Amino acid sequence: MVVMNDSERSLLLNEYIALRRQTSDLFSFEESKELRNLISGILSGENSSERDQFGFHPVVRSLLTASALCKEVSADKNMVTAILLSRIVPAADGRISHIDADVLHMMAGLEKVQNLYRTHSAMANENFRNLMLTFAEDIRVIIIMIVDRLTLMRSINHHPAEDLVKAVASEGAYLYAQLAHRLGLYKIKGELEDMSLKYTNREMFTRIARKLNETKRERDAYMKSFIGPVKAALEKQGLKFEIKGRTKSIYSIWNKMVKQHTDVDGIYDLFAIRIILDVDRLRERAECWLAFSIITDMYQPNPARMKDWLSVPKSNGYESLHITVLGPEDKWVEVQIRSERMDEIAETGVAAHWKYKGIKSENNLDTWMNHVRDILEDAESGPMELMKNMKMDLYNKEVFVFTPKGDLYKLPLGATVLDFAFNIHSNLGCICSGGRVNGKTRKLNYKLRSGDTVEILTTAGQMPKLDWLSMVVTSKARSKIRQAVKERENRDAELAKELLHRRFKNRKIEMEESSLMRTIKRLGFKTVTDFYKAIADNDIDVNDVVSSYEQQLKKEETPAERVSAEGFTLQTSAPEELESSGDVLIIGDNVRGMNYRLSKCCNPIYGDKVFGFVSSEGVIKIHRTDCPNAAHITERYPYRVIPTRWSGKAGSQFVANLSVVGTDDIGIVTNISSIINKQDGASLRNISIDSHDGLFHGYLIVGVETTDILKQLIQKITSVKGVKDVQRSN
């Protein structure tokens, strides 16, 4: 056990401050406070830890890794927490109040990998990689391992233990760089490869780097002479774009030198030009091909080096046009043409594409990556969230199954007829009703064995069900089942929504979205999707919904005081009558004295631009022109819209809803209440507060006489210390 020295304390403090800035939107106030206390204990020398084989303090390395993860990868909070706690917790004396189960899962994976390194000094063969992947279990652990290795290799330049440095560098090139490549972490992959060459063959690395530096001015001048005419031609066609010129990595150049048996002077394509088009997705391909035709008209193309990943994208989703043309001075130049969207995927595709240049390796990992890609194509919550549920069972036992035509498929042990159907094709899996295994009819959940010959049986009316998830073991099948069920639920919800709207129309009831939302909540549904699903499944009758809606409208005739939250109770006098037949509004052709009602969906205030709408009950409802329902009303019922304007002076207060977001500090609500009560022509009707992660979200109902008073009120509330945003809501 070794106590941290002064230089390490300084580095730890600086990295911790940087990490706090990077993760300010990830951690709650309490979580940040606990972590700060742990770091303070380490800095004060209360805790100590074993150093690694390079003599580095593990906590410092954890902070460096967490910081690098935030910079290079779209990490989530749990990944950062797992990195920090995996080495801090043993020295924390149990002072972490709560650790999420998902974090514990990743910490366990990291511990297994660390144990491997305690028993194996270096990677000697491919089997060790397979074993490590099996132990990792979670792809996020692999990502953390890659970034941790990046951090280590950045720190060991000129380290005295040369043999150890070379072993780590070699491992970084053939293991971690390859994994980074498959996961789309190309920037990390390039840096790992460059550092690996630097540490294992520093003389060659220095020679190439020096040569590139010597020819930089010449190279930049050549790129400028090539780009100039291209830029002018593209601009002439009205294209919006950005052109980049980049020199290839030192490792890539060295690799070409080895393959082509030449020196650095013999590598003609030391750099590439990339044209990135700013274009709408619908016109991406058309404009890429237009740019292609412009360039090939200017410079002679090499057809043998033409790569069209635009018409037929790679299996990993990579899209781009690559062409090599003969530029000025008869030099070959590689040009890549893509849209901004395509470039983002290619540059930062942690889970968007796995194999850029197709490193040849065993099929196990490639097959699994393809399954992951299939899942990610259907992801709604983002790749990092989806990766949490992906188990890396690449090298577990397998079964080999044949189709009636003799095609061989490899599946994990325990795979069923349904897994096999989805493995062949997603559509086949969706309509699968069973299988004929070795000539005998079997059910969906029949577990296959090596050597089985399987013919899939289908039924036209078959549809995936959630209970199918218990019958499959492959990630692809599980993903496709969930996707199909979700799509069917969405279709059913749309039909249910159409049925409900039709019933409202038949009953001649105008449906207001805000009132319907309150009705849905009153009926006990947490989400709108659940509500429409209940209608589609006949769990609730449409007529009952309409009746509940009518009751809700009657209840809303008199504004009800909302119950305050977080211990705030507000007593107010009865609100003033908001219906009028007097002088405040002029409706139609200077007509006064008409009965009207201020619409609840937008709550108009004296001074707002408004219009009248004759409802199905014969009552004129006043809406703001920027009301969410205004476009629908004016488009579908233009003959029932009446011009309306304010007149005279506002004699009463109007209801306005305000949404306030701010820091959850003591006294902030009191300050806001005080400002409203002191404002002339305004009163506080109700306040409801919801606090979470150090922030509060307040919902205020205020009475104001005019829009000018409301604007003044919003400005004053905004000036309160701790208030981040104030918006008028409908």
Which range, 105-119, 191-205, 560-574, is most confident?
Answer: 191-205
pLDDT of residue 105: 82
Segment 601-629 shows an average pLDDT of 83
Which range, 259-263, 389-393, 467-471, 501-505, is most confident?
Answer: 467-471
**pTM for this one?**
0.47
109-to-78, 83, 105, 113, 442 alpha-carbon distances in Å: 13, 11, 6, 6, 38
Sign of CA dihedral 59, 61, 67, 70: negative
For the cut 60, the answer to whether the pLDDT of residue 187 exceeds it is: yes
For the cut 60, the answer to whether the pLDDT of residue 365 exceeds it is: no
Contact 152, 65 (CB under 8 A): no
Segment 155-173 shows an average pLDDT of 86
Segment 227-235 shows an average pLDDT of 93
pLDDT of residue 289: 94
**What is the pLDDT confidence band of residue 362, given thresholds at 50, 70 and 90?**
very low
Cα–Cα distance for residue pair 512/497, rounded to 1 Å:
14
Higher pLDDT, 666 or 552: 552
Within 596-667, residue ranges assigned H as helices are: 630-636
Cα–Cα distance for residue pair 308/289, rounded to 1 Å:
10
Closest by CA to 387, choosing from 413, 350, 428, 360, is: 350
Enter the tokens of residue 195.
């550092």
CA dihedral 71, 73, 74, 80 (to 10 degrees): -80
Cα–Cα distance for residue pair 346/355, rounded to 1 Å:
10
Higher pLDDT, 20 or 630: 630
Cα–Cα distance for residue pair 434/432, rounded to 1 Å:
6
**CA terminus-to-terminus distance, the chain:** 62
pLDDT of residue 530: 78
Segment 249-266 shows an average pLDDT of 83
pLDDT of residue 536: 80
Segment 551-570 shows an average pLDDT of 51
For the cut 60, the answer to whether the pLDDT of residue 385 exceeds it is: no
Percent of the chain with pLDDT over 70: 71
Enter the tokens of residue 548.
């509940």
Q: Average the pLDDT over each of 45-54, 260-269, 323-332 and give the range with the smallest value.
A: 45-54
The tens digit of pLDDT for each residue in 59-71 reads 778 888 888 888 7
Q: What H or E segment, with its residue span, contains residue 530? A: helix 528-536
List, in order of start, the domains of the chain with CATH numbers.
6-185 (1.10.3210.10), 212-348 (3.30.460.10), 485-556 (no CATH), 560-576+653-730 (3.30.70.260), 578-645 (no CATH)
pLDDT of residue 579: 41
On the 0-12 / 13-18 / 19+ scale of CB atoms within 10 A, 195 is buried
For the cut 80, the answer to whether the pLDDT of residue 563 exceeds it is: no
Q: What H or E segment, with its residue span, contains residue 107? A: helix 101-119
pLDDT of residue 5: 63
**What is the pLDDT confidence band of residue 125, given thresholds at 50, 70 and 90?**
very low
Enter the tokens of residue 537.
């499944």
pLDDT of residue 34: 61
Closest by CA to 669, choosing from 728, 717, 702, 729, is: 717
For the cut 80, the answer to whether the pLDDT of residue 355 exceeds it is: no
DSSP string, 495-515: HHHHHHHHHHHHTT-PPPHHH
For the cut 70, the answer to whether the pLDDT of residue 462 exceeds it is: yes
Cα–Cα distance for residue pair 424/402, rounded to 1 Å:
11
The tens digit of pLDDT for each residue in 1-50 reads 455 566 666 666 666 666 666 666 556 656 666 666 666 655 554 455 56
Buried b (16+ CB within 10 A) or exposed e, 57-79: bbbbbbbbbbbbbbebbebbbbb
**What is the pLDDT confidence band of residue 474, given thresholds at 50, 70 and 90?**
confident
Q: Average the pLDDT over each of 101-105, 123-127, 605-609, 685-689 and give the range with the smallest value.
A: 123-127
Cα–Cα distance for residue pair 719/722, rounded to 1 Å:
9
Q: What is the mean pLDDT of the chain?
A: 76
Q: Is residue 468 classed as helix, strand or coil in its secondary structure?
A: helix
Q: Phi and psi for 116 in degrees, rounded to 5?
A: -60, -40
On the CB side of 97, how many CA atoms lie within 13 Å of its CA? Answer: 7
pLDDT of residue 80: 82
For the cut 90, the answer to whether the pLDDT of residue 526 exceeds it is: no
pLDDT of residue 229: 93
